[in-house]
Amino acid sequence: MRYDSPIRYLARLWLDVAPMRPTDAVFARARELLRRNDLGTGVGQDAAFGQRPALGDRSGLQIVLPGESFDVATVPTVGDDGRDQPMLSFERFAEQAATYMVAFTQGFEREAYRLALVREGFVAMPTTTMEELPRRVLRVPEPFASHPPFEWDWRLVSRVSRAFGGVEEPLNTAATLKRASGAFLRPVLGTQPFDKVRLDLDISTSHERSNPRFNAGQVEAFFSSCLRWQNELWSQLEQAFQLED
């Protein structure tokens, strides 16, 4: 099982810092902490916090400053011919995000109180497997059993105790598998319909604890360990739903 169309890779870091505004001083400090003077600047919009300062580059890297959290993401980019460009691997993204989150933790001289690593994307899958998948995942009642659903949604969230950086925490572990259809609007190529199965994995520390407790070493340990936990969860779902390549 693999993504044929990644949607977004996302890392989040919560520090007890005031919301930031898109000013030259904020952008300069962020570039200095990240050692990335090449990053362009922009503005992200947040319903709760208003405008948020954002940095990025042409590869699809997006770094959005608090707001609520420091968010590092990579998203697909489109070339001049309208086609998707190759996207950074999830493994490389997790390594890059860990470096940036450690830089923010050290630079703002705060301990983090929450951490998260997320991957979202459409899975490569034959049409026959896509049609069979609801019966592997769900108990399908009538009328859906005799009229196969073209959209469906499965989601589970558990707390799993895990150790990293010398601490042990119950981590929210979420998996969402669903079939969705619609249309992409692409430059040059125009509207392109899609019918795909989407898989999202999300592992995070508890939203119920807001006390600062993760130093820079533990932040790095979370993201390096979380890459392994994410891959383990991926394999477990792959085996459970018979989706091995």
Q: What are the pLDDT digits (tens) for 148-192?
A: 999 999 999 999 999 999 999 999 999 999 999 888 776 766 788
Q: Using 50, 70 and 90 to split pLDDT, how confident is the model at 3?
A: very high
**What six digits make up the tokens of 65?**
């400053």
Question: How far is the C-alpha of 58 from the C-alpha of 224, rounded, in Å?
Answer: 25
Q: Sketch the domain layout of the chain as residue ranges.
A: 3-240
Helix ranges (H only) for the chain are 24-34, 90-107, 127-137, 216-240
Q: What are the pLDDT digits (tens) for 22-35?
A: 999 999 999 999 99
Q: What are the pLDDT digits (tens) for 104-113?
A: 999 999 999 9
Nearest to 184 by CA among 87, 76, 73: 76
Nearest to 36 by CA among 69, 2, 61: 61
**190-204 vs 167-186, strand pairing mode:** antiparallel
Question: How far is the C-alpha of 148 from the C-alpha of 134, rounded, in Å?
Answer: 9
The pLDDT assigned to 50 comes to 79
The pLDDT assigned to 81 comes to 76
Nearest to 18 by CA among 69, 73, 62: 69
The model's pTM is 0.94
Q: Mean pLDDT score of the chain, rounded to an integer?
A: 93
Nearest to 10 by CA among 101, 126, 77: 101
